[in-house]
């Protein structure tokens, strides 16, 4: 139950902040946002506030912000179409009713002759007395079909009507907010857990290891190896890895005294790989601080380090050093969350930050249907001087969505096999 709750909170937070980036920048650009959705597939819950419906959907595989003008959502009233109009006190159309007109009062019936629901905002047609009438349409008018109301989107409130800069920032804001979320999680971790100092202080010594045989003890501060100063733990590991199994002259500080030891590294197999080791364990000491400079610096460094790890994994995937079988989908992420939850809330927070960075980077890949793919089209538009045909671009993104769904099926199947077989 705790794992399920942790997974829901982490997944929901990552998707929420990603879509929040799209949402806020769309609103800032004046774009009409029709829906803010967490999850995909059938709707579980929906709440309408203002001009946007906020929904939670069944499948935990993402989310979306649906903006006016993106998905051919405009209604076209063809000549001869019979509609019902509801006017305000200034004889401006507030509602255009496409069917089920009998349930409305004070309705004006019209057979449409012409209409402009995007730029001009007017409708013209014949009333029941066969008189040609023309009415202006309110900018916030609604279209009613089968009892469902859809807010009209004037052209200047549609996504494609905005400048290239506004459209690009609206799309880029999703991944950007994932990086910002990770950054703030690391800042909170720094304040609650402390900032690692990475001092080379030995946490533990493995039995019968070269370190134990040489007399190394937990709590020893390693200061020198072969005459070179050791300032952080990475210096120690680098010296061991480059030793070529030759004896190391190690100086440690113990109870205020300098003690010289000689340790000969050995080869051990770890997860199928041969690694040079001396048999010690390490957990960095931490500095508890609320110094804004230190915690902000730590947040930025950890966000950068996390991004570097993910880019490295992507590179290995491209070069074949990393198999597609090693990728994890929602089932795999749930399983990892279950394992990480055993180590406490701080580990879960770190896991959430890394997942947020991963989501941001994955969405920036220049692939159809992803944010990076859309930004690639915008870049092409900037070079070409005019946008790509919307139908062609839409078809490319559709193919991308299909391929991503197939990849999700393969990854999920691999997750299930690892979990149950």
For the record, the structure tokens of 49 come out as 């506030």
* Secondary structure element (H or E) that encloses residue 93, with its range: strand 93-97
Residue 72 pLDDT? 62
Q: Judge whether 197 and 284 are in contact, CB under 8 Å.
A: yes
CA 121 to chain CA centroid, Å, is 37
For residue 151, give Cα distances in angstroms to 32, 68, 112, 157.
Answer: 9, 9, 20, 11
231 has catalytic annotation: no
Euclidean distance between CA atoms 180 and 93, whole angstroms = 43
- pLDDT tens track of the chain, all 421 residues? 677 788 888 888 999 999 999 999 999 999 999 999 998 889 999 999 989 999 999 887 789 999 998 866 677 888 999 999 999 999 999 999 988 777 788 899 999 999 999 999 999 999 988 999 999 999 999 999 888 888 899 999 999 999 999 999 999 999 999 999 999 999 999 999 999 999 999 999 999 999 999 999 999 999 999 999 999 999 999 999 999 899 999 999 999 999 999 999 998 877 778 889 999 999 999 998 899 999 999 999 999 999 998 888 888 777 777 666 666 667 777 777 888 888 889 999 999 999 999 999 999 999 888 999 999 999 999 999 888 888 888 888 888 878 877 877 777 777 676 666 6
Q: Judge whether 142 and 154 are in contact, CB under 8 Å.
A: no
Euclidean distance between CA atoms 162 and 171, whole angstroms = 12
Neighbours of 376 (CB within 10 A): 15
Helices assigned H by DSSP within 230-291: 233-241
For the record, the structure tokens of 120 come out as 């001009």
Surface-to-core class of residue 53, CB atoms within 10 Å of its CB (0-12 exposed, 13-18 middle, 19+ buried): middle
**Inter-axis angle of helices 164-193 and 345-363, nearest 10:** 160
Q: Judge whether 391 and 399 are in contact, CB under 8 Å.
A: no
Please state the domain extents for the chain. Answer: 1-32+159-196+289-421, 82-152, 198-284
For the record, the structure tokens of 23 come out as 């949402």
CATH of 198-284, one of 3.40.50.20, 3.40.50.1980, 2.30.42.10, 3.30.1360.230: 2.30.42.10
Sign, CA dihedral 351-376-403-53, equals positive
**Residue listed under structure tokens 């089920």:** 100
Q: Judge whether 65 and 33 are in contact, CB under 8 Å.
A: yes
Annotated catalytic residue within 19, 224, 231, 269:
19
**Residue listed under structure tokens 């993106």:** 70
């Amino acid at each position: 139950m705790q794992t399920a709750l942790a997974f829901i909170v982490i997944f929901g937070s990552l998707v929420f902040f990603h879509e929040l980036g799209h949402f806020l920048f769309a609103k800032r650009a004046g774009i009409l946002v029709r829906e803010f959705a967490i999850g995909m597939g059938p709707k579980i819950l929906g709440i309408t506030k203002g001009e946007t419906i906020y929904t939670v959907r069944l499948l935990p595989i993402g989310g979306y912000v649906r903006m006016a003008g993106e998905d051919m959502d405009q209604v076209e009233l063809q000549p001869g179409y019979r509609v019902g109009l509801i006017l305000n006190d200034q004889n401006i159309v507030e509602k255009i009713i496409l069917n089920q007109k009998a349930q409305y009062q004070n309705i004006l019936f019209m057979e449409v002759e012409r209409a402009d629901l995007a730029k001009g905002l007017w409708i013209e047609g014949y009333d029941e007395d066969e008189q040609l009438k023309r009415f202006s349409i309110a900018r916030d008018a609604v279209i009613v079909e089968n009892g469902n109301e859809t807010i009209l989107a004037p052209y200047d409130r549609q996504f494609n009507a905005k400048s290239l800069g506004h459209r690009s920032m609206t799309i880029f804001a999703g991944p950007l907010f994932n990086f910002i979320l990770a950054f703030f999680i690391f800042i909170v971790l720094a304040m609650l857990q402390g900032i690692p100092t990475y001092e080379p202080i030995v946490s533990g010594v493995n039995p019968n290891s070269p370190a134990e045989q040489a007399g190394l003890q937990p709590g020893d501060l390693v200061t020198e190896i072969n005459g070179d100063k050791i300032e952080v733990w990475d210096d120690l590991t680098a010296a061991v890895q480059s030793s070529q199994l030759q004896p190391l002259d190690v100086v440690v500080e113990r109870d205020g005294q300098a003690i010289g030891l000689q340790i000969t590294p050995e080869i051990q197999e770890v997860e199928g790989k041969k690694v040079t080791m001396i048999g010690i364990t390490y957990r960095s000491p931490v500095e508890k601080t609320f110094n804004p400079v230190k915690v902000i610096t730590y947040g930025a460094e950890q966000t950068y380090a996390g991004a570097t790890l993910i880019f490295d994994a992507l590179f290995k995937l491209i070069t074949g050093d990393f198999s597609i079988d090693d990728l994890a989908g929602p089932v795999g992420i749930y399983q990892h969350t279950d394992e990480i939850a055993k180590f406490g809330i701080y580990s879960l927070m770190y896991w959430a930050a890394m997942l947020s960075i991963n989501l941001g980077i994955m969405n920036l890949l220049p692939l159809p249907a992803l944010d990076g793919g859309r930004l690639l089209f915008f870049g092409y538009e900037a070079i070409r001087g005019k946008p790509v045909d919307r139908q062609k671009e839409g078809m490319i993104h559709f193919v991308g969505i299909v391929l991503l769904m197939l990849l999700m099926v393969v990854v999920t199947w691999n997750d299930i096999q690892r979990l149950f077989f």
